[in-house]
Amino acid sequence: MKPSVPAVAVWGRRAPSHSITAVMITDDQQTIVTGSQEGQICLWDLSSDLQISSKEILFGHTASVTCLAKARE
């Protein structure tokens, strides 16, 4: 029998107006980072009960964000 995996939506009651092209979750599993076709990087808080809330939107890229990677310390 396969274990069940809960589905997680990365927005609230309405989907964001941008097209998500990249997704990353932090090592502590408390923040989801998304990149968009419109060049935005969005940070989302992820609670222990899998509730997601928006945290920050970073602007400035002029091209699509196609991949995300964490920086070294």
Instruction: Say if 70 falls within a structural domain.
Output: no
Residue type, 60: G
How far is Cα 49 from Cα 70, in angstroms, rounded to an integer?
24
Q: What's the confidence (pLDDT) of residue 58? A: 85
Instruction: Say if 13 falls within a structural domain.
Output: no
Q: What's the confidence (pLDDT) of residue 72? A: 77
Confidence of residue 2 (pLDDT cuts 50, 70, 90): low
Domain count, the chain: 1
Q: What is the pLDDT of residues 10-69, one digit of tens each?
A: 556 666 666 889 999 998 889 999 998 888 898 999 888 888 888 888 878 889 999 999
pTM above 0.85, yes or no: no
Range of the domain at 27: 18-57
Instruction: Say if 48 falls within a structural domain.
Output: yes
Instruction: Say if 64 falls within a structural domain.
Output: no
